[in-house]
Amino acid sequence: MSSQPIDEDGFHSIAWDDAPSLLPKGGQSGTASSTSGFDISSESDNGFENISPVSPGAGEGSASGSGFAPGASTDTIQQHKRYRSDIEANREHAEVDGTEWGGRWMAISVKDPVKEHEGSKDMFVSYAVRTQTNVQNFSQPIPVVRRRFQDFAFLREHLAKAFPACIVPPIPDKHRLEYIKGDRFAPDFIEKRRMDLQRFADRIARHPTLQRSKLVNDFLTSTEWTVAKHHHISHPPPDSHLSMMDSLSDTFINAFSKVRKPDARFVEMSEELERFEEGLTGVERLVGRGKNRVDDLAADYQDMAAAYQTLGYLESGITEPLNRFAEKMLDFSALLKHTNSTTTEPLLHSSQSLLAHSTSHRSTIKLRDQKQLDFEELSAYLSAIVSERDRLAAVQTGHAGGPVGLGTYLRDQVDKLRGTDDIHTRRERIRKLDIKIKELQEAVTTAHETSNAFSDEVLKEHQYFEMNKQEEMREMLQSYADGQVEMLKRSMEDWDRIIPVLQRIRVDI
């Protein structure tokens, strides 16, 4: 789709769309990760109203590191590494049928972190960003570029400016403890950040407006990204020229005002988000408590294994069976820790990211309320000016006019004392008020249209958020359940193998 013309009223900044043209239905197919988007069943340019979740492959990839304790058997470690590798392979090579997807789809993978300029003060981590889509504007079928965290931050910041009514997904905060203690290049931290950036990319790919923006296209394909960034900075989107102080002053003033006529749709939307956040926070608290208990249980199994090894040295006749039993307990302890690191911790991390995404949604609702508040304040101001003009017109014709407030009464008295309350002064004031009324009427009309347009966009955004939330919750819980089931299956197999060994123990009394 070609760029939309820019209207005089500036409403294009609400849902500014600079999307490239798209392939016809049944276009190029490719590979998508398990977190790649939704089924799009309409080719219209109405914002992808007909979007329904699809069922991609397996869940989230595991964090780096095996998580096994010393003493665990090599076979057990390798079994779990192969299991997690199979999940990653399924995510990487799940085929996507272009006809099934309705023509428009995008899948982005963020992987292969590399330390650039290692050993110098300018060292940073770059990530390979691989995109598969059927958007015609892409110069390569499967472009792969390298981007650093600052590039993702730039993309997020400028998307928020260009699409104020869109729920632009959050990225992890740069000001974290890892930066203070100098551990931001640790493998665990890099992997967690990669997973956060992957979620950010998945949400961009699933968003029917953001996925088609020119900035996103440059981010995913440009080999001259620095030039593209400078070009975007020098050609900002409309209405982004407002100073920071202007934005802060508007927000500060509106913070002390409330919408006079709240829209029931957005009140219900806010309450629904609040209930969701409370529920997800409760789940996160329970899972975190369970994780701590499993860590304690794993430590207890390690201590018990050491005790059985000591007992085996004392009982020379059954040393070998007891040592094998102790090894199996060490394996089970390592299995519990590994399950926490590859299943429970990703669930907690995903829930925190989803809560941050919900907070972004709340911000768009607050911004919509500010647009409605602008309209209400302008309408009230216009009403006051019209009343003042009518009062002066009534006085001019010899009528008493309507009741006035204390301020107006004092001003009239001061004008009489100064001798400026004559017919010519009143005529001039009426003329100026007529001009002001005309300007205010245009401003009220513009604010009303802006408020309505913003409300319509937020309603669409809520639909996209709900579908994205359902997809992420499904993937998150499925990955967690699969990890727990796999842990139980492996532990049952291990204990079943050791039971015959223990049954052969004979102790003479």
Percentage of residues of the chain with pLDDT beyond 70:
67
Q: Which residues of 166-187 are buried (b: 16+ CB within 10 A; e: fewer)?
A: bbbbbbbeeeeebeeeeebeee
pLDDT of amino acid 402 = 53
- pLDDT: which is higher, 140 or 128: 128
Question: Given the structure tokens 């085929």, which residue do they identify?
Answer: 95
Asked if 92 and 33 count as a contact pair (C-beta separation under 8 A), the reply is yes
Instruction: Check whether 319 has a pLDDT greater than 80.
Output: yes
Tokens representing 100 are: 């099934």
Asked if 217 and 138 count as a contact pair (C-beta separation under 8 A), the reply is yes
Residue-range domain boundaries for the chain: 11-237+257-378+447-503
| Residue whose C-alpha is closest to residue 211's, from 159, 158, 144 | 159
Instruction: Check whether 43 has a pLDDT greater than 70.
Output: no
pLDDT of amino acid 411 = 61
Question: Given the structure tokens 């996103």, which residue do they identify?
Answer: 216
202-213 pLDDT tens trace: 999 989 889 888
Side-by-side strand order, sheet with 124-133 = 106-116, 124-133, 144-148
Distance CA 94, CA 145 (A): 21
Question: Of all helices (H) and strands (E), which one includes residue 34?
Answer: none
Asked if 146 and 129 count as a contact pair (C-beta separation under 8 A), the reply is yes
- pLDDT: which is higher, 18 or 23: 18
| Residue whose C-alpha is closest to residue 49's, from 364, 468, 460 | 460
235-293 pLDDT tens trace: 887 655 444 334 444 544 455 578 888 999 999 999 999 999 999 999 999 999 999 99
Q: What is the pTM of this model?
A: 0.72
pLDDT of amino acid 379 = 92
Distance CA 342, CA 166 (A): 33
Distance CA 74, CA 81 (A): 11
Instruction: Check whether 118 has a pLDDT greater than 60.
Output: yes
- What are residue 125's DSSP bridge partners? 115
Most confident of 107-121, 233-247, 394-408: 107-121
176-203 pLDDT tens trace: 555 545 577 888 889 989 999 999 999 9
pLDDT band at 23 (very low <50, low <70, confident <90, very high): very low
Most confident of 10-24, 131-145, 443-457: 443-457
Calculate the CA 217 to chain-centre distance: 19
| Residue whose C-alpha is closest to residue 56's, from 111, 128, 110, 105 | 105
For domain 11-237+257-378+447-503, is the CATH number 1.20.1270.60? Answer: yes
- Find the angle CA(203)-CA(250)-CA(160) to the nearest 5 degrees: 15
